[in-house]
Amino acid sequence: MKARARRIVNTTMGWLTALSAMVVVLPLILILVFLVYQGASTVNLDFFTRLPKPVGEPGGGMANAIVGTLILVGLASCLGLPLGILGGVYLAESQDRRLPWVIRFLADVLNGVPSIVIGIFAYTVVVLPLRRFSALAGGFALAVIMLPIVLRTTEEMVRLVPASLREAALALGIPEWKVILRIVLPTARAGIITGVMVSIARIAGETAPLLFTAFGNRFWHQGLLQPIAALPLQIFAYAIAPYDDWHRQAWAGALVLIVMIFSSSLVARIVTKGRYSGLR
């Protein structure tokens, strides 16, 4: 090919790839614009403090759904974080030969399982034996979703802790478990927190597994063994309904949810900002 033709192709391809990057980013901007445009006007104090009103009556808010999401995330974290972090430490530190490979593989498998399937699992394992929909079932489903993320991130971050630190501690006679708990983990803390925040951002937005576990509740939560409202559930219910007022509230709910999720991700980034220039 002639030199000029090659240069033209080169420039064109450069522009095309730039174009794809712009096109990819466009929907995000569109969605955010719509969210703010449609939802911002409905997000007022009422929205954060009131309960939903009966069908067809305007007004009311999503206070119980917002709190419900926070509770479900908290519950999932109580169940999933200890398992995930300890499991991640296992993968990074254990001397066992075959089990870590199996665990790593299974974690990756679990990561790819659609959340609705995890919802089926939680229904069969928690809802049916307890004979009720509950916050516990919802929290369990979310914990199963967050587990592999926390596990793998913890493993990665623990591996990144320099061997020299470990060796120095061991050389001084500190038992291995103390080395891990008091030296390795604190050093990897920022990275682990990133993994935690990312997994929280992920589960806060999950709807499918909550459909038949947490079930939804038009009133305030009443203990862990009762159904509980959740923001994504409420958004879904309102979005497919015909009432215009509910549509407005769905947009507002989506805006609040996105803000919550983005803040989580943002926090994760800020926490790792300074910390990683050294260790990477």
Partner 1 sequence: MKGVQVLGKLTGVIFAALLLSVGYGGSVSAQLLMNGAGATFPYPIYSKWFDEYTKVDPSVRFNYQSIGSGGGIRQIRERTVDFGASDGPMTDEQLKQAPGELFHIPTVLGAVVATYNLSGDPRLRFAPDLLADIFLGKITKWNDPRIAEVNPGVALPNQPIIVVHRSDGSGTTYIWTDYLSKVSKEWEQKVGRGTSVNWPVGLGGKGNEGVSGQVKSMPGAIGYVELAYAIKNNLPAPMVRNHAGKFVQPSIQSTTAAAAGAAKNMPSDFRVSLTNPPGDDAYPIASFTWLLVYKDQADAAKGRAMVKFLWWAIHDGQKYMSDLLYAPLPSQVAKEIEGKIRQITYQGKPLLAAR
Partner 2 sequence: MVREGGAAEGLSLLHLARSTRKTGRWGDRLFRLLIRAAALALLGIVLGLVIVMIRAALPSIRAFGWSFLFTSKWDPVAEHFGALPLIYGTIVSAVLALLIAVPLGIGAAVYLSEVAPSWIRPPISFLVELLAAVPSVVYGLWGVFVLAPWLRTQVQPALGSTLGFLPLFQGPPYGVGMLAAGIILAIMVVPFIIAVSREVLLAVPNAQREAALALGATRWETTRLAVLRYARSGLTGAVLLGLGRALGETMAVTMVIGNRPEISASLFAPGYTMASMIANEFAEATSDLYLSALIEVGLLLFVVTVVVNALARLLVWSVGGTVKAVRE
Counting beta carbons within 10 angstroms of the beta carbon of residue 56, is it exposed (0 to 12), middle (13 to 18) or buried (19 or more)? exposed
What residues numbered 6-65 form the site for partner 2, per CB under 8 A?
Answer: 6-7, 9-10, 13-14, 16-21, 23-25, 27-28, 30-31, 34-35, 38
Torsion sign (Cα): 147, 148, 149, 153:
positive
42 vs 187, beta carbon nearer partner 2:
187
Of residues 27, 54, 173, 278, which one binds partner 1 by CB under 8 A?
54
Q: By the 8 A CB rule, do 115 and 100 touch? A: no
Residue 182 touches partner 1, criterion: CB under 8 A: no
Structure tokens that stand for 193 in this block: 């927190």
129 vs 223, beta carbon nearer partner 2:
129
Residue 181 touches partner 1, criterion: CB under 8 A: no
Cα torsion for 185, 187, 190, 194, to the nearest 10°?
-50
Q: By the 8 A CB rule, do 221 and 129 touch? A: no
Number of residues counted as binding partner 1 (CB under 8 A): 41
Q: Cα(237)–Cα(68) distance, rounded to whole angstroms?
A: 15
Of residues 190, 201, 203, 257, which one binds partner 1 by CB under 8 A?
190
Minimum gap (Å) between residue 269 Cβ and partner 1 = 12
Q: Cα(219)–Cα(52) distance, rounded to whole angstroms?
A: 8
42 vs 187, beta carbon nearer partner 1:
187
Residue 245 touches partner 2, criterion: CB under 8 A: no
Residue 129 touches partner 2, criterion: CB under 8 A: no
Residue 208 touches partner 2, criterion: CB under 8 A: yes
Residue 131 touches partner 1, criterion: CB under 8 A: yes
Counting beta carbons within 10 angstroms of the beta carbon of residue 280, is it exposed (0 to 12), middle (13 to 18) or buried (19 or more)? exposed
Collapse the DSSP code of 215 into the 3-class scheme (helix H, G, I; strand E, B; otherwise coil) and give the result: strand
Sites of contact with partner 1 (CB under 8 A) = 53-56, 67, 70-71, 74-75, 77-78, 127-128, 131-133, 135, 189-190, 193, 215-227, 237, 240-243, 267, 270-271
